[in-house]
Amino acid sequence: METTKNTSGKHRRDGDTYEITSSEIEHYNDLGYLVLKEVLTDYELKDLDYWFDHFISGKEIHQMNKDFCDMSQPYGTPVEEFQLVNAMCPSMYRPELANNIYFRVAQSIASQIYKAGKAEMDYEQFLAKKPSKAGAEFAMHQDLGYWPKTKNTWTATFSLALSDSNIINGCLQVIPGTNKEKELRVHLPKPYNGNEGETMNRDTSHTLVIETNKKDQPIFLPVKRGDVTIHDERIIHGSAGNSSSEWRKTYVMAFRDSETIKQERAMGYTHSHNDKLDWKEVLG
């Protein structure tokens, strides 16, 4: 699969702005993903480290309910058995995170990618893969398979590496170009029990997996601490478990069209796992 030469780095930063090139925007639009190096400095990451560890350690568990969960296992899994720790919408619970440096820089990048409207942050989450947890994996999926149907689906999902991410600890995998497929793949609940017409029960589960294709050729996107990957809403992606002795830590932030976010909120959808919705009606 053809890729662009990666010349990104700290020389692209000027305050809250990180400049990207027209060829990178073209690459993102054509293949569905982008990798940017040295987006944040280690000094900037240290404040985010504090809040990441605060949430992942369960300090806000008393108020988060399903927003503090294991993304690799069903709701109700005991905290001590978590493998892929997830804290949804952290700035909703701790406003100290609002308008942080990551948000400001990511906003500048999203606004460069998206010219058809106004890009705004839709949601964020902290993700941590525990050491030596082969089950801390995300099944291959398309983000759009999880979300309400809106007229404009444009999305740029940023994943900031708070620790180095590689094949051993379960870095992001993508299948370039699948964002151009006309139809979404069929998404099934995980685990799938083989029942015809089975859909995800969002009261008990939160994980989907796509039907695979023999022609699918995923590539790995290893990154260093401070680097960012960006992917769109239709590209097929996922990640394996963590076979290393260290945590893999990621701060995810998704940007969407401002009108799309308004439509979501009108439905009562905030990306919180605590949303109370009629999913059959919302998903269509």
Q: In the chain, what are the domain boundaries?
A: 17-283
Q: Comparing C-alpha atoms, which of 147, 143, 140, 128 is closest to residue 88? A: 128
Classify burial at 265, counting beta carbons within 10 Å of its beta carbon; exposed 0-12, middle 13-18, buried 19 or more.
Answer: exposed
**C-alpha pair distances (Å), 147 with each of 61, 100, 218:** 25, 26, 23
Cα separation, 69 vs 47, in Å, equals 23
Q: Comparing C-alpha atoms, which of 117, 8, 104, 108 is closest to residue 47? A: 104
CATH number for region 17-283: 2.60.120.620
**C-alpha pair distances (Å), 272 with each of 73, 206, 239, 278:** 17, 11, 22, 14
Q: Comparing C-alpha atoms, which of 182, 129, 118 is closest to residue 154? A: 118
pTM for this structure?
0.93
pLDDT tens sequence for the chain (284 residues): 445 689 999 999 999 999 999 999 999 999 999 999 999 999 999 999 999 999 999 999 999 999 999 999 988 999 999 999 999 999 999 999 999 999 999 999 999 999 999 999 999 999 999 999 999 999 999 999 889 889 999 999 999 999 999 999 999 999 999 999 999 998 887 654 444 444 445 555 567 788 778 899 999 999 999 999 999 999 999 999 999 999 999 999 999 999 999 999 999 999 999 998 765 666 65
Rounded (5°) CA angle 233-250-47: 125
Tokens 């000027």 found at: 14
Q: Where are the alpha helices (DSSP H) in 89-175?
A: 90-93, 101-113
Per-residue tokens: 117: 């409207």
